[in-house]
Copies of this chain bind each other. A is one copy, B any other.
Amino acid sequence: MKIVCIGSGNVATHMAQAFKASGATVLQVWSKNQEHALALASKIEASAISDLTQIDASADLYLIVVKDDAIPEIAASLKSVRGLVLHTSGATDILALASIQNHGVLYPLQTFSKARPIDFAEVPLFLEANSESSMDLLRSVAAGISARIYEVDSEKRRILHLSAVFACNFVNQLYALSQDLLVHHGLEFGMLKPLIMETALKVQSAIPREVQTGPAVRGDEQTMNHHLALLGDMPELAEIYRTLSNSIKKTHS
């Protein structure tokens, strides 16, 4: 399996390394920025390129791992290849690759950081392809790097991407706001870390609504009013407190 990796960010880095570890050969890493291409390419014995016209036309697989709004330009430059061209975006329709003969989507539902290793075998991968033969190849390619594979259409993939905004981006913002609150009162975010871990661990085996705790689910108006008073000088946190407490009450009414 010969692969060209188009992109060199966090997702590209983790995905290209997973393919390399599975025994594939990464021929090239492309980035607009030659240094960025080189940083990844040097880790996986690939060539670094920064010119789309230099892309090797003989690869079996082309991974487009760039920002969503850069996908059309990349797709246009891959019109004539015969290998399977995949984008990896949750929010982008498969139709973005319609001008390419063999194409599909390989969406990893995970948050990737440069500094943190990821066990790719545990990353859920969502597959879509333009034909049965593309899907056959895509299935075997995906099975080489992950044990958690699902086939979904572009509409369902968009819902997954949206659900990740709630469960990752918004959750992380709540972590950031709780840090603001603690620091504002001379306390440390580290004090909350065991609670944050346990809250995430709990829903690995339990249904979230069934393990809800705190004043809103108890209907403890006195504590909620007290909390809102404590947030008197942080109106943004007070608004979020009201909105999410109401949501909890509604879920449990």
Contact = CB atoms under 8 A, between A and B. Distances in A.
Interface in A155-201: 156, 158-160, 162-179, 181-182, 185-187, 189, 191-201
B165 A241 contact: yes
A179 B215 CA distance: 22
A200 B197 contact: yes
Interface size class of A (residues with CB under 8 A): 35 or more
A191 B124 contact: yes
Interface string A113-130: 101101000111000000
B171 A174 contact: yes
B167 A174 contact: yes
A223 interface: yes
Contact of A208 (B156, B164, B179, B191): B179
Nearest to A218: B67
A199 B230 contact: no
A158 B230 CA distance: 9
A251 interface: yes
Decide if the interface of chain A is mainly helix, strand, loop or mixed: helix
B247 A169 contact: no
A195 B251 contact: no
A122 B195 CA distance: 10
A75 interface: no
A169 B236 contact: no
A186 B181 CA distance: 38
A196 B212 contact: no
B199 A122 contact: no
Contact of A203 (B110, B148, B175): B175
Contact of A176 (B169, B230, B251): B251
23 contacts: A109-B195, A110-B198, A111-B198, A111-B213, A150-B191, A159-B185, A162-B181, A162-B231, A163-B181, A165-B241, A166-B177, A166-B178, A166-B237, A166-B241, A167-B174, A168-B196, A168-B214, A169-B216, A170-B248, A176-B212, A200-B201, A240-B244, A243-B243
Given A164-B192, A168-B213, A172-B208, 11 more contacts: A111-B198, A111-B202, A111-B213, A113-B202, A118-B198, A167-B196, A172-B202, A172-B211, A189-B208, A197-B201, A197-B204
